[in-house]
Amino acid sequence: MNIPDPQSIPRTTMNRRPSRLCVCRLHEKNPDMLATRMTGRYLTTLAFSLLLGVGAIVLAGCLLADHQDKSGVIVFAGFGGLYLLFSLLAFRGTLSRLTVFDRAAGTFRQRNGTAICQLDQIAALQLLPPGEMRRNGEINLVLTDGTRLHLLSFPNDETMQQEAALLSRWLGGVAVWQNGGL
């Protein structure tokens, strides 16, 4: 397998949505399938935002029936709507980015079935730890042609190391480039 030189691969962050929450982690569904899934903490945060939004809208509806001055209640309902919208869009966006490593098909794909690359094209895992330059650490896949694909982001180095070790083992010992390959 042709492995690119780590020094020729950029070490810039690829994640455009930094978060202090660990949004997704790897989960082995069966020996032939490894998938990303949303963490319980992330789902709890989304559920809390959803309940807050629905509760604010319901409360605003009750207050609208009882109060003469409706301007403050309408603003309150607007904030509830924003919380509701945030939680639904965040869930939908995260759901669309979930991926699957499938040994049987030999592909790395999105959950909807769209193939991203072949498993034998993955040459290394690039780890970019959190620190001064980036808010989150990330795991990027480096393909044999030098292309990088963002996989996961983590708010701490320990979780990122655990996930990288799991993925490297699952992929048959793919190289792990600490600090982006320095």
pLDDT tens-digit series, residues 35-85: 999 989 889 989 998 998 888 888 888 877 776 677 777 887 888 888 889
For residues 70 and 64, is the Cβ–Cβ distance under 8 A?
Answer: yes
Regarding pTM above 0.85, the answer is: no
The tokens describing 85, both together, are: 């919208």
The tokens describing 104, both together, are: 């049987």
- Owner of token pair 């809208």: 57
Q: Which domains does the chain have, with CATH numbers?
A: 22-97 (no CATH), 104-182 (2.40.50)
pLDDT of residue 37: 92
Q: Which residues pair with 99 in a beta bridge?
A: 110
pLDDT of residue 156: 85
